[in-house]
């Protein structure tokens, strides 16, 4: 769909798309900040509400579970009621949850706030990106989709600062209240956004959409570029701080190493976005998977703190590339199969939530019951297997394109 009644060359069109992009990316940024801000607040909530370890973990897990539950229904509903309506409703839920973080005074209240946030944030990703890319010119869609990963990287860098440093200095009300005000301001800007004509993508049953995507290499690889890097990255987030702590590294130094890794992710994602029309390919995906596998052998070779801190920096590069090309790849495959974009984005969001939940659980279980090396070995093997399948699909795509070209030449009189 495009901006109704306005040519893409018209100055009003460019300004409308720019304003919509600012509001969408700002709201996604708020969501990522709220997502990651609670990570350093575990000890604070533990002491304030007299929680046990399970209850403290529930605070972190509640949003992930809500995102997992809502992502696909939100994508399907977006295709039925319209991306603009769904985006506004989801953004309102995120803004309300931001205010809820500032005033939550008990464990049940905080848990309800995290669930509300997860539902809103889980619906915001597919709806907002479908809205933005639907209004924008088709030539901009790949870059707009990959830019969302840049925003995510920035938000997860800012979030722990708000949850840690600012909360320690000013309490919960000031940083979360300011975040809520920021969300409300850009929700207001979103309300001025344009309507758009309905997409021509075919509305279909979920099973039919999944069957079509399962036959499309671009979509399969794009989804693997979301779920596998998400899985291995979350194993890192659990195990690396534990290994560094065992070596006597301070919490402050661990936090700085994680922040530095997030900064590398952000810069790499920005660079990949600028080159996305060339970077979003099956070859790039296979190369990224191999690079992750090679880099993840480092914790198998040494547990020295400087090496592990270097690992946190270097591993961010291929993981950022894979995340950034995942959405454009999947969207390209979905368009070839006529599958509605919002449903695909909802599926991607669900896969991300699965990885966010499964990664730490699997890493913790393997670390406790098998050994410290088990998780890294599995990460390496999984990446190599996926890289192999991706190269095989790439070879098939090249053969198919060559055959089509030969048939066209033969048919040309």
What domains are defined for the chain? 1-200 (1.20.1250.20), 202-413 (1.20.1250.20)
Q: Using alpha carbons only, what angle is made at residue 17 by residues 15 and 23, rounded to the nearest 5 degrees? A: 105
CB 93 within 8 Å of CB 119: yes
According to the 3-state scheme, what is the secondary structure of the chain? CCECCCCCCCHHHHHHHHHHHHHHHHHHHHHHHHHHHCHHHHHHHHHHCCCCHHHHHHHHHHHHHHHHHHHHHHHHHHHHHCHHHHHHHHHHHHHHHHHHHHHCCCHHHHHHHHHHHHHHHHHHHHHHHHHHHHHCCHHHHHHHHHHHHHHHHHHHHHHHHHHHHHHHHHCCHHHHHHHHHHHHHHHHHHHCCCCECCCCCECCCHHHHHHHHHCCHHHHHHHHHHHHHHHHHHHHHHHHHHHHHHCCCCHHHHHHHHHHHHHHHHHHHHHHHHCHHHHCCHHHHHHHHHHHHHHCCHHHHCCCHHHHHHHHHHCHHHHHHHHHHHHHHHHHHHHHHCECHHHHHHHHHHHHHHHHHHHHHHHHHHHHHCCCCHHHHHHHHHHHHHHHHHHHHHHHHHHHHHHHHHHHHHHCC
pLDDT of residue 300: 94
Model confidence at 266: pLDDT above 70: yes
Q: Please, which pLDDT band fits residue 340 given cuts at 50, 70 and 90?
A: confident
pLDDT grade for 245, boundaries at 50, 70 and 90: confident
Q: So what's the pLDDT on residue 251?
A: 67
The reported pLDDT for the residue numbered 205 is 66
pLDDT at residue 400 in the model = 63
d(CA 49, CA 51): 5
Say what the pLDDT of residue 206 is: 67
pLDDT in tens, 354-406: 888 888 888 888 888 898 899 999 999 999 999 999 999 888 877 665 444 44
- Reported as a pLDDT band with limits 50, 70 and 90, residue 339 is confident
pTM tops 0.95: no
Token pair recorded at residue 18: 């720019």
Model confidence at 349, pLDDT cuts 50, 70, 90, reads confident
Indicate the pLDDT class of residue 173, thresholds 50, 70 and 90. confident
- Tally the residues of the chain: 413
Question: Between 145 and 122, where is the model more confident?
Answer: 122
Q: Report which of residues 36 and 54 the model is more confident about.
A: 36
In this prediction, what percent of the chain has a pLDDT beyond 70? 90
**Among 1-5, 29-33, 199-203, which stretch is predicted with the lowest mean pLDDT?**
1-5
Residue 109 has pLDDT above 80, yes or no: yes
Q: Based on C-alpha coordinates, what's the Rg of the chain?
A: 22
Percent of the chain with pLDDT over 90: 37
Q: What is the mean pLDDT of residues 215-236?
A: 91
pLDDT at 226 (0 to 100): 92
Tell me, what's the pLDDT at 172? 85
pLDDT reported for residue 411 = 45
Q: What would the mean pLDDT of 274-292 be, rounded to a whole number?
A: 88
Residue matched to tokens 């479908």: 130
Compute the mean pLDDT over every residue in the chain, rounded to the nearest whole number: 84
List C-alpha distances in Å: 136 to 141, 142, 231.
7, 11, 32
CA distance 411 to 404: 11
Lowest mean pLDDT among 130-139, 186-195, 250-259: 250-259
| pLDDT for the residue numbered 404 | 47
């Amino acid at each position: 769909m495009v901006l109704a009644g306005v040519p893409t060359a018209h100055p009003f069109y460019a300004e409308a798309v720019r304003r919509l992009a600012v509001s969408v990316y700002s709201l996604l940024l708020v969501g990522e900040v709220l997502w990651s801000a609670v990570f350093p607040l575990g000890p604070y909530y533990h002491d304030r509400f007299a929680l046990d370890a399970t209850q403290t973990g529930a605070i972190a897990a509640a949003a992930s579970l809500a995102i997992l539950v809502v992502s696909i229904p939100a994508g399907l509903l977006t295709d039925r009621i319209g991306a603009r309506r769904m985006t506004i409703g989801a953004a309102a839920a995120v803004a309300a949850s931001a205010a809820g973080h500032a005033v939550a005074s008990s464990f049940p209240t905080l848990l309800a706030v995290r669930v509300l946030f997860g539902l809103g944030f889980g619906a915001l990703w597919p709806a907002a990106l479908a809205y933005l890319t639907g209004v924008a010119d088709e030539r901009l869609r790949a870059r707009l989709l990959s830019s969302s990963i840049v925003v995510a990287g920035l938000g997860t860098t800012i979030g722990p600062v708000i949850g840690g440093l600012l909360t320690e200095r000013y309490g919960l009300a000031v940083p979360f209240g300011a975040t809520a005000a920021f969300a409300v301001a850009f929700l207001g800007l979103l309300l001025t956004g344009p309507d758009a004509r309905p997409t021509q993508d075919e509305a279909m049953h979920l099973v039919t959409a999944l069957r079509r995507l399962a036959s499309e290499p671009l979509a399969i690889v794009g989804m693997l570029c979301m779920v596998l890097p998400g899985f291995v990255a979350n194993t890192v987030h659990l195990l690396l701080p534990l290994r560094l702590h065992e070596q006597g590294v301070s919490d402050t130094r661990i936090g700085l190493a994680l922040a530095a890794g997030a900064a590398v992710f952000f810069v790499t994602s920005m660079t990949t976005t600028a080159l996305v029309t060339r970077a979003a390919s099956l070859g790039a995906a296979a190369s990224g998977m191999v690079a992750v596998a090679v880099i993840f052998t480092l914790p198998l070779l040494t547990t020295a703190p400087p090496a592990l801190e270097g690992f946190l920096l270097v591993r961010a590069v291929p993981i950022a590339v894979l995340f950034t090309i995942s959405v454009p790849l999947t969207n390209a495959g979905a368009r070839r199969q006529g599958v509605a974009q919002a449903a695909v984005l909802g599926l991607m969001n669900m896969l991300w939530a699965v990885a966010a939940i499964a990664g730490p659980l699997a890493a913790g279980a393997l670390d406790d019951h098998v050994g410290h090396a088990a998780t890294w070995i599995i990460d390496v093997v999984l990446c190599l297997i996926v890289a192999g399948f991706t190269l095989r699909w790439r070879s098939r795509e090249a053969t198919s394109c060559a055959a089509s070209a030969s048939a066209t030449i033969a048919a040309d009189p």
